[in-house]
Amino acid sequence: MKLLNFTFLATYFCGVALYAQETSVFVVKPYLQDANPAEITVMWETSLGEESVVEFGTSPKLGKKAVGGAEDINFGPSRIHEVKLTGLKRFTTYYYRVKTDKLVSDIYQFKTPPFASDNESFNFLAMSDMQIDHQNPDKFNEIVNKGILPFLKSEYGNTTPDDLAMVLIPGDLVENGAKYEQWQNDFFKPAQKLFSEVPVYPVLGNHERNANFYFKYFSLPKNGTPAYAEHWWYKDYGNTRIIGLNSNEGYRDSREQFAWLKSLLEETAKNGEIDFVFAQLHHPHKSELWIPGEEESSGKVVKMLEEFTTKTGKPSLHFFGHTHGYSRGQSKDHKHLWINVASAGGAIDNWGEFEGRDYDEFSVTQDEYGFVMVEVDGNHENPKFTIKRISRGNEELYRDNEKTDEIVIYAKSHQPETPIAIAFNGAVEYTGGMLKAQPFRSSFKDAYHAASHWQISTTQDFDTLALDSWKQSENWYYGENRQKNDNLTDEPTKRLKPNTKYYWRVRYRDQHLNWSDWSKTESFKTNN
């Protein structure tokens, strides 16, 4: 009797074990990729099973079905599923769920993009460097579930797909891109509630190591150089063009990438539906918190975007990471922003830990966790975008979704009035004098004096500069505003040559990056 019972139990538990092995589970729950007005891609990963089905519709009743394919991910039974939904209506909310054999997901939502001609406004999110910090392993989960999602609800008050169009990530999604488990546990799992309803568009960081897992987990636009599919690409959403680039070793100086970018910017210049160009790449050209992290090749990208903006009048920016802290800067001669959107999880690069430098370009640098919201006004009559930094603080200072920085950029120029330079009476001490101009004026509502640019030259064409000084109304460095109490209407000449005639001029900039014309050129002579 005991032997019979043992035989029965052994058979039963073997059957249960076999059944368990044949039952699929979600390794990565559904997430969204590559959205267009008429189509979107849905992806997920299961422990086994080849069936790749998405049921969808404009109500929770669903009603339509699309079928895709599955592929191996890590030389085991797990499968990545990819299904493209087509024939969708633009700027419309859809419901969906995924199915692999008997495994069925919850029902989620997404919203298709508009055309530029629809003049629709939208928001998107940029964050980077969420690779796990083993001293603070839950930080990315906090950023998403206590930061982003509650912020969207409190700030905009709608469903997540209505409040957010896309998520941009300029690199370092995981600590080590070659470690399979990190993708599920450290990246997709914490962000599941976000990525299931909002398309995510990353670019490679150094921590991804150009690993094959990255290219299997993401289905990015395949409009880059054919031989380098998904290394660089672009995506249009309404009146905005997003450009993804690879700044990793082996690609950062790629002639193919620069040739592609040059051609794309030339095409964008002719495209009357695009008002703004936003690029994302991982490595900074300059970094106030961490100079060793700078890459000269990123400067080539910045220069190309600057030249594009000045030629076309279309404002641009580049998002980056690598340095674990937020920075906001601007080009001197161009309507181009520099935005570091880290850190969303990686250990903060605190002030003083590494070699740093106070660069003229940067107005704000903060050693804090957080994310960046971008609000785009799609009205073609007066399009604009707003950048907001939402901070979660750091180990020393707690912040609960505090807005710590903001800037608004208009597509159309609203020039301040040309400043009036105040002429010198008599000679100027060669050891130094003070340039002065009348206060800032602008007809544009609420515009204020945000920067001044002073030049002194020995020639009237300003080819030979003795002074080229550019200062912002704020310069936050190491927790201190180094421009405090500077009204930007005067500037010391510094030491000059004696008994020499000099020419000088000044221009003013508002907070929207609009420069005035140069003032009338004045002159002075230094004494002996």
> Are domains 24-112 and 120-410 of this chain identical in fold?
no
Strand 316-320 with 336-341, pairing: parallel
Report the pLDDT value the prediction gives residue 1, as an integer from 0 to 100.
43
What's the rounded Cα separation, in Å, for the pair 380 and 156? 22
Name the 3-class secondary structure at 16: helix
Report the pLDDT value the prediction gives residue 388, as an integer from 0 to 100.
98
Strand 449-457 with 166-170, pairing: unpaired
Give the model confidence (pLDDT) of 405-430 as tens digits: 999 999 999 999 999 999 999 999 99
Report the pLDDT value the prediction gives residue 228, as an integer from 0 to 100.
96
Closest CA to 127 of 450, 336, 299, 369: 369
Residues of the chain with pLDDT below 70 are 1-21
DSSP string, 236-269: EETTEEEEE---STTTTT-HHHHHHHHHHHHHHH
Paired with 328 in beta bridges are 339, 364
Give the model confidence (pLDDT) of 46-73 as tens digits: 999 999 999 999 999 999 999 999 999 9
Paired with 377 in beta bridges are 384
H or E stretch at 305: helix 296-312
Report the pLDDT value the prediction gives residue 408, as an integer from 0 to 100.
98
Q: Quick one: three-class SS letters along 58-81?
A: CCCCCCEEEECEEEECCCCCCEEE
Residues 6+ apart with CB under 8 A from 456: 435, 465, 466, 467, 493, 496, 502, 503, 504
Name the 3-class secondary structure at 509: strand
Report the pLDDT value the prediction gives residue 12, as an integer from 0 to 100.
44
Name the 3-class secondary structure at 31: strand
Residue 374, both tokens:
């971008």
Q: Provide the CATH number for the domain formed by 421-525 in this structure.
A: 2.60.40.10
- What superfamily does domain 24-112 belong to in CATH? Purple acid phosphatase-like, N-terminal (2.60.40.380)
Residue 251, both tokens:
């690609």
Report the pLDDT value the prediction gives residue 11, as an integer from 0 to 100.
47
For the chain, give every domain's residue range. 24-112, 120-410, 421-525
The CATH fold of domain 120-410: Purple Acid Phosphatase; chain A, domain 2 (3.60.21)
Cis peptide bond N-terminal to 442, omega within 30: no
What's the order of all strands across the beta sheet hosting 465-472? 465-472, 449-457, 501-510, 522-525
Name the 3-class secondary structure at 428: strand
What's the rounded Cα separation, in Å, for the pair 287 and 450? 22
CA distances from 71 to 101, 131, 158, 180, 229 (A): 15, 26, 36, 15, 18
What's the rounded Cα separation, in Å, for the pair 175 and 319? 20
Report the pLDDT value the prediction gives residue 209, as an integer from 0 to 100.
87
CA distances from 485 to 421, 481, 507 (A): 21, 9, 19
Name the 3-class secondary structure at 204: coil
